[in-house]
């Protein structure tokens, strides 16, 4: 039995409420809840939000933070990232993923989608740190049939090892991109996804170069290429999706494909700015927010990502009413959870107890005329005081158990990349 948790008089939707947590779920939210609890948390001077959902990242790339900065995407990948990733061991990824989990906890994220290598090592880190994760089995074949068969065997091996084996971890598929994964392998992965009802995510339409190369190689743009392969589905989400036209948005909407916006990465790598958030939402496409990995966005702060997504969308449209703070919070919580097929991202009785307490006694919330506006535009992840996931307290008073050992281990392991 987990300890019963009662949060007293925390601000929710502008009113003080009590929140009762039993086992893994929110049992009740009310003005007052007169019950005894094993753990009572004083919520005065704090506000509660659902745990944030990072819908696209590469967790263990915390190890590569600061390597290859200020470079275009393809030279960055080929010269800095892929060669260093080839040197990573299971232990490296385990500690890099633990650091990512620590960073996410300290900035209010309780669930994330991760596309990376050494997947069992990341799974172990997630189990120990207490977060939820959708772990995407990274697939490359570089148009080599031999590598394609190897990738299929790896998918089957990891599926058998990880799928359904832990309540907070889901196995999913992560073909890297259309320029690193053959059409035949994409079709096999699509069939595997459909057969086992598991999610699949791919980087797509991220740069102008990718689009022009797709037209040269496949005779059509990236979204249309996936359409011709027959691999668009409700199980699929695409990361980035910067270069899509009106017809492609309709195609994605018709097939129930979701899109994850990664504003920090897109700006830092100069991939593009005109993410068509408004058009996608109008078409009925679920749009979430991700940080991407720490070597392309340099942090995993979803509060910062919400601000960047909003301001970037306003700027290129020259429309201050576009992409409001409340829309960003929705995208980073409930919508992100829906994309990852998780029943979380909401504050309501019966839902998983994944939530954060935000410290209101800081300059960013003074005065607090509009909490959501202050959260998105004025604050950053450091405003998070307490994090609960699956009914477990992961951080209280801004302290996470074991954080010093994680920092020490990662500093030591990162020496190999200097």
**Listed residue (215, 234, 239) closest to 225, CA to CA:** 215
> What span, in angstroms and rounded, lies between the C-alpha atoms of 46 and 42?
9
Residue 364: CATH number of its domain:
2.30.40.10
270 with 301, same domain: the answer is yes
pLDDT for 304: 98
Span 142-184, pLDDT tens digits: 999 999 999 999 999 999 999 999 999 999 999 999 999 999 9
Span 35-86, pLDDT tens digits: 999 999 999 999 999 999 999 999 999 999 998 899 888 898 899 888 988 8
Query: Mean pLDDT across the stretch 83-104?
Result: 95
Half-sphere exposure of 48 (CA within 13 A, CB side): 29
pLDDT at 418 over 80: no
182 with 87, same domain: the answer is yes
Give me the domain span that covers residue 306. 52-339
262 with 221, same domain: the answer is yes
Q: Are strands 46-50 and 355-359 parallel, antiparallel or unpaired?
A: antiparallel
Of 316, 339, 362, the domain-final residue: 339
Query: Mean pLDDT across the stretch 90-111?
Result: 97
Contact by Cβ (8 Å): 280, 327: no
57 with 44, same domain: the answer is no
Asked, for residue 417, whether it belongs to a domain, the answer is no
Residue 56: CATH number of its domain:
3.20.20.140
Span 207-254, pLDDT tens digits: 999 999 999 999 999 999 999 999 999 999 999 999 999 999 999 999
252 with 293, same domain: the answer is yes
**% of the chain exceeding 70 in pLDDT:** 100
Domain count along the chain: 2
80 with 219, same domain: the answer is yes
Asked, for residue 415, whether it belongs to a domain, the answer is no
Asked, for residue 405, whether it belongs to a domain, the answer is no
Asked, for residue 122, whether it belongs to a domain, the answer is yes
Asked, for residue 412, whether it belongs to a domain, the answer is no
Confidence of residue 417 (pLDDT cuts 50, 70, 90): confident
43 with 153, same domain: the answer is no
pLDDT for 414: 87
110 with 236, same domain: the answer is yes
276 with 290, same domain: the answer is yes
Query: Mean pLDDT across the stretch 349-353?
Result: 98
pLDDT at 332 over 70: yes
User: What's the token pair of residue 39?
Assistant: 């753990």
**Mutual angle of helices 246-254 and 222-229, in 10-degree steps:** 30
Query: How many CB atoms within 10 Å of residue 75?
Result: 11
pLDDT for 85: 87
Q: What is the mean pLDDT of the chain?
A: 97
pLDDT for 178: 98
Q: Are strands 5-12 and 15-22 parallel, antiparallel or unpaired?
A: antiparallel
**Listed residue (121, 218, 110, 86) closest to 168, CA to CA:** 110
122 with 214, same domain: the answer is yes
pLDDT for 68: 83
> What span, in angstroms and rounded, lies between the C-alpha atoms of 123 and 134?
9
Q: Which residues make Cβ contacts (< 8 Å) with residue 8, sequence separation at least 6?
A: 18, 40, 41, 42, 43, 44
149 with 296, same domain: the answer is yes
Asked, for residue 199, whether it belongs to a domain, the answer is yes
189 with 227, same domain: the answer is yes
| Cα-based distances in Å from 97 to 134, 173, 208, 293, 398 | 13, 18, 31, 11, 20
Asked, for residue 65, whether it belongs to a domain, the answer is yes
Helix (H) or strand (E) holding 226: helix 222-229
Q: C-alpha angle 140/200/146, rounded to 5°? A: 25
Phi, psi of 320 (to 5 degrees): -70, -10
Span 300-331, pLDDT tens digits: 999 999 999 999 999 999 999 999 999 999 99
Span 183-195, pLDDT tens digits: 999 999 999 999 9
Asked, for residue 24, whether it belongs to a domain, the answer is yes
pLDDT for 49: 98
Beta strands in 302-412 (DSSP E): 355-359, 384-389, 392-395
**Mutual angle of helices 183-196 and 222-229, in 10-degree steps:** 60
**% of the chain exceeding 90 in pLDDT:** 93
Query: Mean pLDDT across the stretch 381-396?
Result: 98
- pTM to 2 decimal places: 0.97
């Amino acid at each position: 039995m987990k300890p019963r948790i009662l949060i007293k008089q925390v601000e929710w939707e502008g009113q003080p409420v009590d929140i009762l947590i039993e086992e893994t779920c929110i049992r009740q939210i009310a003005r007052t809840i007169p019950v005894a609890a094993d753990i009572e948390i004083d919520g005065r001077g704090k506000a509660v939000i659902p745990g944030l959902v990072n819908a696209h990242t590469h967790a263990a790339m915390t190890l590569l933070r600061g390597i290859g900065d200020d470079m275009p995407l393809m030279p960055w990948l080929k010269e800095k990232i892929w060669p260093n990733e080839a040197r990573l061991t299971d232990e490296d990824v385990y500690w890099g993923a633990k650091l990512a989990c620590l960073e996410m906890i300290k900035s209010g994220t309780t669930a994330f989608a991760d596309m990376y290598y050494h997947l069992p090592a990341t799974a172990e880190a997630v189990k120990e740190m207490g977060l939820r994760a959708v772990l995407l089995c990274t697939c490359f074949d570089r148009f080599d049939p031999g590598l394609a068969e190897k990738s299929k065997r790896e998918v089957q091996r990891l599926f058998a090892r990880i799928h359904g084996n832990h309540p907070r971890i889901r196995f999913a598929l992560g073909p890297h991109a259309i320029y690193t994964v053959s059409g035949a392998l994409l079709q096999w992965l699509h069939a595997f996804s459909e057969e086992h009802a598991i999610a699949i995510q791919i980087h797509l339409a991220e740069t102008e170069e990718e689009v022009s190369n797709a037209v040269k190689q496949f005779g059509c743009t990236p979204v249309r290429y996936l359409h011709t392969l027959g691999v668009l589905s409700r199980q699929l989400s695409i990361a980035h999706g910067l270069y899509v036209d009106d017809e492609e948005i309709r195609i994605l909407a018709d097939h129930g494909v979701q899109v994850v916006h990664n504003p920090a990465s897109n700006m830092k790598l100069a991939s593009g700015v005109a993410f068509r958030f408004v058009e996608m939402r109008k078409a009925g496409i679920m749009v979430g927010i991700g940080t991407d990995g720490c070597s392309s966005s340099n942090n995993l702060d979803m509060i910062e990502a919400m601000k960047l997504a909003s301001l970037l969308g306003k700027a290129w449209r020259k429309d201050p009413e576009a992409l409001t703070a409340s829309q960003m919070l929705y995208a980073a919580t409930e919508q992100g959870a829906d994309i990852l097929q998780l029943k979380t991202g909401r504050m309501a009785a019966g839902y998983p107890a994944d939530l954060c307490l935000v410290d209101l006694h800081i300059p960013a919330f003074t005065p607090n005329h509009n909490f959501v506006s202050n959260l998105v535009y004025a604050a950053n992840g450091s405003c998070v005081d307490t994090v609960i996931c699956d009914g477990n307290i992961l951080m209280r008073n801004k302290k996470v158990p074991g954080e010093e050992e994680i920092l020490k281990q990662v500093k030591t392991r990162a020496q190999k990349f200097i």
